[in-house]
Amino acid sequence: MSDAPLLGYSARPSFLHSLTGTSKLLLTICLLVGSIISFDTRFLALEFCVSLLMFFFSGMRLRDFSLILWLLAIFMLLNNLLIFLFAPDYGSELYGTRHLLLAGPGGWDITSEQLFYQLNVTLKYFAVMPPVVLFIATTQPSEFAASLNRLGLPYRISYAVALTLRYIPDVQRDFHAISQAQQARGLDISRKAPLRARLRNGGGILFPLLLGSFERIEVASTAMELRGFGRGKRRTWYSTRPLRLADWLVIAAGAGIVLLALWLLHVNGSRFYNPFL
């Protein structure tokens, strides 16, 4: 396992890092809303291009998200496989036509409509997940909490979210340290060990990891109580920043994405783009 955080803030001198958390959060929400509203392949491809631009302007590297990308790929493949197994003809029902490419046993025929529908499902993953991951990786947790509070979320909830994001890298470092200590004692959880042995030996890591997490929660709650957290109805944020021109342009781009999704919904007459008509 790598020492790099699984998912956490990474400070870099990039354009995406220079934006305020509020503008990045609104852009991410707009991309999520757009992908929920529309099932138009052209729109999803556009959102995927926006995700690529965000990655380019973030200054991050693919290996920084290697584990997340692997998990996303596995989940995406499993989802597509289950869709085909349980609804192999859903694409034809959805688009109203049926172009057979390959006859399969038991009704599991491969059709152009089914492949096109599952392509859209895959595009949704690539359109939604990268902006969310990049937002977390380029936004300082305290600023993230300030952004949530600025958008109307109670500051107690905002602060709880910020604490969660701060603890994710710490939990991973603890997991790495505990796993190394357990392997030194003979409990092998590496890829060389059988899957059953890895699952059984993983319990020796989970228990001390949970104890360490409970200790962190107690320390954090005691510190917050001693500082009077939660007594006031409002609070000020040290890390909050005013919106600049670049932030307003990003927010406008996010609003444009949602408006485009609504316009396509009106033009297509439904959420779906049908190239088979």
Across residues 48-70, what is the average pLDDT? Answer: 83
Per-residue pLDDT at 99 exceeds 90: no
Average pLDDT on 142-166 reads 78
Is the predicted pLDDT of residue 87 greater than 70, yes or no? yes
Mean pLDDT, residues 95-123: 86
**Tens digit of pLDDT for each residue in 163-220?**
777 777 777 777 777 777 777 777 666 666 666 666 666 666 777 777 777 777 777 7
Residue 47: pLDDT above 60? yes
Report residue 243 as tokens.
């919106």
CB 261 within 8 A of CB 39: no
Report the pLDDT value the prediction gives residue 3, as an integer from 0 to 100.
46
How far is the C-alpha of 163 from the C-alpha of 171, rounded, in Å?
A: 12
Computed over every residue of the chain, the mean pLDDT equals 81
What pLDDT is recorded for position 2? 42
Highest mean pLDDT (candidates 45-59, 66-80, 188-202)? 45-59
Q: Where are the alpha helices (DSSP H) in the chain?
A: 15-18, 21-37, 41-58, 66-86, 90-95, 112-138, 141-150, 155-184, 195-226, 245-268
Maximum CA pair distance of the chain?
Answer: 69
Q: How far is CA 151 from CA 7, 21, 29, 146, 273, in A?
A: 23, 11, 12, 9, 33
Percent of the chain topping pLDDT 70:
89
pLDDT at position 44: 92
Question: Each residue of 233-266: pLDDT tens digit?
Answer: 777 777 778 888 999 999 999 999 999 999 999 9
pLDDT of residue 188: 63
Query: Tokens for 183?
Result: 């392997």
- Indicate whether 73 pLDDT > 80: yes
pLDDT tens-digit readout, 7-27:
667 778 888 888 888 889 899
**Residue 23 CB neighbour total at 10 angstroms:** 22
Cα end-to-end distance, the chain, whole Å: 50
Q: What is the pTM of this model?
A: 0.76
